[in-house]
Structure 1
């Protein structure tokens, strides 16, 4: 692990990737005490980051349940390799007082926060973190972090130069453990089997992409004789999940949902800039032509996933990890399905920049008064150690031979900002070119073996070798695209990463809803494209100008 604590590293390592587990939703009554008391005095080696509680303790938690997690037969959220490791190594048992699907988690958590029914450990967003800080619901972790966080854990969290910890610190007190991650921008995935069947060249510009989209819609690329294929994937949230169009907007130098700097250096909302209107007009044309699903306004990301697996979409904008899910599921159904990652193309001769967010996608907080608040930090220590430390075992704790993503099971996590790009990409590139894997760590060696296996004709159990090749190979992979983004300075970092401002807390959700509704209506042709101008005026009047002023006040404090 290479530690780099410079501001420059932050600017090349920032963005988002939420990884939460999947299981059936369950609900139980919250425990009356914050920690289940042991029947005898608990002993633990003082200040030991990996010291075991004897007898074991129980901590309560809540969590979101994602759609992509799979378990081995007989295992579930409460019984898996990680729950056993936490209990056997640390003497910690996690009791989930409730779980909720991703789409319902925030609403349910907001109700819990308002009622004061809070678990010992909870994953929260920036708004919830600020709310809980103001209401005095959080344990001060400052001294506990210094005492119990392992050196390796601190090294990982500090790879972003310390900004993650700073964002979790209020009035000199560390009130949360930041979930840091390597920040990767969106890439463009294209069905290469369709492209080759229609004898189309690989895209170099956004105009090329539009021509490919039209061909995928009109020329029956799956050869079934039916008019049932579409060009560009979309969903009702427009900028989230499978079917996000954020990358498409970026190709037109438009940056919805991001705070960006204008020519004068002032921070402004990307959602109200003139370039947005241009993109909405183009999407309106595509929708009218039928190249975008006519039902996208009522279909969420899950439905978009189903369409990808069913072989309905030929162009998808989104994450680097899509080969593992849902592409593997689609290829299992149709072995001819082949995807390749491309950089977001530009509509003109100016390279497209890809927006990336602040590297902290969520925070783990501890309820004030919890009996063992240091337990959250110890759970994090063990996660980091088993994922990337000296005792790491990738196939046991991270990704199994059959592709099951074991790393999604633990609740408290943080990821090295530099782990994937540039570290893993460059390490694999060198090892594959020299045919010498001696310098690779355990995770990198596992990737090396899978890529080598695919190159030797083995797609792997559940196509894991194929998926690894599509993500991590030196060329024609999403990692290759991501590395080039950084090398060519093509990442546009969100200019605001502070706690929600007063106006944001009061009006941001309303403005976000208004924005989504307006964009959807324009794309569908419900209102004329020029209605965007009226929307901008209303956005400013209804709180947008106040938010912008507050963001710029915050920006001055960061200089």
Structure 2
């Protein structure tokens, strides 16, 4: 290990947070002693294992040592973090990979990034597949998750395990009562609710100032992709028994979803500016009572409720995760990244041999223990949280929790599944429905596969489809024009992507 990577300064009990630029400068002057070796030597099993971690920070500042010290104590380690701000993670990870200035553990969250994928395929990181079953918590990672997180059939790190399918529909339950409708269970019923919320004055103020849907300019995490699931649209791709791939926008179900959105738009049952609305504006507008239907992550309901405090104090929300369409009666919900949030990877330049690899794998296995998950999620009982009468976790010092605990949230190898109860009933309900979604999750079969054309041209090609989708919904082009855009996508590289996926799929299966 290169010793200049973000060492924690014990003398003042503060965690050093350094920029990657500083890390690279220090790395040039470092020795090559492996930091994953024991402090007193490899053979002393009671000594602490030194581990460095190049990690992503999702908060304004890194955590202080309070929780970190306890994690170290319980995992018998000395952990030194180098934190990369989330906003610049892609650029900085690319730089670290190019210069081989890494750490024992590297957080890789953008697996579709070409530099990341090339580094993984090059052999820069350990293939850990054969070792997982030696550790009880790592052994519990499902074969489906392992396969989705693999690159060309090889697993180059421990998957960050996320919820398989978070999305659903959040509806103003109090408005439903006002307009005399029940919680919708089909897309047709949802359309009826959208119409009523727009035309029947659900807030009772005598003004024509509400819409059904409040959506945003995002065809993935906004309403479109979730509605597409209800119509049976595949998740990005579908593959037939012969290994032939078809893009989601080449299916009738995708067109059916566009037609649904088009009808909403033409009738004014969705905010007219949805195609240019930011997520924050979407949520604020909903919280201010301008609309009654929100499609997105179900746990957003808690935030919507919080934002509405003092504005819409009578707001009651219904969460729906079992919606279907008349043309597709089978429940389905798309899965973001197949439940993979990236990899906890171990570079061979830092983790020198199998013995060192097993020590860091033991550390990651230990992070999956419920006690450590609780530390990284809620902190210390009596200091950061308490258990209420219902056994739910309540934060008792929000400022201290944000400083000492919250920064660790994105470092948890597994996001949920420990049965910890939130004191907010709407959050608890959202967690339950998200867990239930897993049984109906639709995965992207191309997620673990390689397509050089997709890697180099996929983003640009997708812009052709995204633009055509919006323009069709907004009534600016015809269906024939949309199909011409799909044809153009194929000619510019789409056909090549499909052939490359077919070849990769055949090899992997």
For Structure 1 versus Structure 2, the TM-score category normalised by the shorter chain is: 0.7 to 0.9
* CA distance 1:165–1:529, change in 2 (3 Å): closer
In structure 1, the residue matched to 2:3 is: none
Query: Deviation string for 1:109-136 (max 9, x for gaps)?
Result: 4455456555652223333442212455
**Structure 1 residues 341 and 125, CA, compared in 2 at 3 Å: closer, same or farther?**
same
Match of 1:133 in 2: 120
Unpaired segments of 5 or more residues in structure 2? 1-16, 386-391
Contact 1:26 1:100 in 2 (8 A): no
Aligned partner (choices 333, 336, 343) of residue 354 of structure 1: 333
Distance 1:205 1:267 in 2: 29
User: Does 2:496 correspond to 1:556?
Assistant: no
Q: Is residue 177–residue 364 contact of structure 1 (8 Å, CA) maintained in 2?
A: yes
Higher mean Cα deviation, 283-292 or 111-120?
Answer: 111-120
User: What is the 5 A alignment of 1:260-339?
Assistant: 260-262=238-240, 266-331=244-309, 333-339=311-317
The correspondence of residues 203-242 of structure 1 with structure 2, limited to 5 A, is 203-240=184-221
Of the three residues 514, 518, 528, the one matched with 2:478 is 528
- Tell me if 1:59 matches 2:45: no
- Look up the match of 1:502: 452
Query: Per the alignment, do residues 264 and 354 of structure 1 end up closer, same or farther by CA in structure 2, a change over 3 Å counting?
Result: farther
Shift of the 195–391 alpha-carbon distance from structure 1 to 2, 3 Å rule, reads closer
Equivalent runs, 1:435-454 vs 2, <5 Å: 443-444=418-419, 446-447=420-421
Is the alpha carbon distance of 1:511 and 1:112 closer, same or farther for their aligned partners in structure 2, counting shifts above 3 Å?
farther
The normalised TM-score by structure 2 is: 0.76
How far is the alpha carbon of 1:270 from its aligned partner? 1.3
Residue 100 of structure 1: aligned partner? 86
Say yes or no: does 1:161 pair with 2:165: no
Deviations 1:139-189 (A, max 9, x none): 32549x849x973322332xx1265168446686x5322112342353222
For residue 195 of structure 1, give the secondary structure of its aligned residue in structure 2.
helix
Deviation at 1:402, TM superposition (A): 3.0
Question: By how many angstroms is 1:209 displaced?
Answer: 0.6
Contact kept? 2:246, 2:498, Cα under 8 Å: yes
Contact 1:232-1:316 within 8 A present in 2 as well: yes
Task: Give the Å deviation of 1:212.
Answer: 0.6
Partner Cα separation in structure 2 for residue 359 and residue 273 of structure 1: 24
**What are the residue-to-residue correspondences of 1:513-524 with 2, within 5 Å?**
513-524=463-474
Question: Partners of 1:177 and 1:316 in 2: how far apart?
Answer: 34
- The aligned counterpart of 1:493 is 443
Residue of 24, 27, 42 corresponding to 1:33:
27
* Structure 1 runs not aligned, ≥5 long: 1-24, 70-75, 421-442, 451-463
Matched, 1:152 2:131: no
Determine the C-alpha separation between the residues in 2 that align with 1:516 and 1:117. Answer: 37
Contact 2:57 2:407 survives alignment (8 Å):
no
- RMSD between aligned alpha carbons? 4.0
How far apart in 2 are the matches of 1:162 and 1:252? 25
SS of the equivalent of 1:251 reads helix
Change (3 A) 1:153 1:46: farther
Moved more, 268-277 or 111-120: 111-120
Q: Report the Cα distance in structure 2 between the residues aligned to 1:360 and 1:62, rounded to whole angstroms.
A: 17
Q: CA deviation at 1:346?
A: 0.7
Match in the other structure for 2:227: 248
Q: 2:364 aligns with which of 357, 368, 380?
A: 380
C-alpha deviations, 1:489-539, integer Å up to 9, x for none? x44332223243122112211122222222122222332333111011111
- Per-residue CA distance 1:239-259 (angstroms, 9 max, x = gap): 12xx3421212222223x521
TM-score between both structures, scaled by the size of structure 1: 0.70
What secondary structure sits across from 2:22 in the alignment?
A: coil
Name the counterpart of 2:11: none
